[in-house]
Amino acid sequence: ALRLFNVYGPRQALSNPYTGVLAIFASRLLNGNPPLIFEDGRQQRDFVSVYDIARASRLAYESEAARGEVFNIGSGNAYTIEGIAERLQRVLGCNGMTPEITGKYRVGDIRHCYADIGKAQAVLGFAPQVELEAGLAELAEWLPQAQAEDRVSRARDELVARGLAI
């Protein structure tokens, strides 16, 4: 079993507010809206390219030692959500927008979530190959041809109405 962290890359769904933070930020920016950040923006996440996920999947499939095991698949790096918003804004040329930091917490969210990929490295020989900056640049090249309906406000309203954003 592979436990995937925040996967990003070209051809991901941008209009689903539950796809992942990079897709959500991209959708907001493509629609002229600033990224919406819960908490204080300093929470940390691990971002991994879809190409690294494909490579890890192949390695796990081909490895006898992987049978019955669980592996964390990520970059092994922790990035703040605010920092990710700023990086994406830079590669998209949207530097003038200030992210909206809500200070609200979503029920069930954890403060920091990043991968310890040591077991995947040792057993599978997995090592992420796509650096975040290169992956974001490729994502930015693909984004202009993508359809991105910003549904974040509707999702946020639903969270608040159900008492899931405090």
Write out pLDDT tens, residues 28-74.
898 899 999 999 999 999 999 999 999 999 999 999 999 999 999 99
Question: Going by C-beta distance under 8 Å and a sequence separation of 6 or more, which residues neighbour residue 87?
Answer: 79, 132, 133, 136
Confidence of residue 153 (pLDDT cuts 50, 70, 90): low
- State the pLDDT at residue 143: 86
- State the pLDDT at residue 157: 62
- State the pLDDT at residue 51: 97
Confidence of residue 6 (pLDDT cuts 50, 70, 90): very high
pLDDT mean across residues, the chain: 89
Smallest CA-to-CA distance from 124 within 76, 61, 51 is with 61
Q: Give the distance, in angstroms, between the CA of residue 32 and the centroid of all CA atoms in the same chain.
A: 20
pLDDT > 90? residue 136: yes
pLDDT > 80? residue 149: no
- State the pLDDT at residue 155: 63
Tokens 């969270």 belong to 159
pLDDT > 90? residue 163: no
- State the pLDDT at residue 28: 87
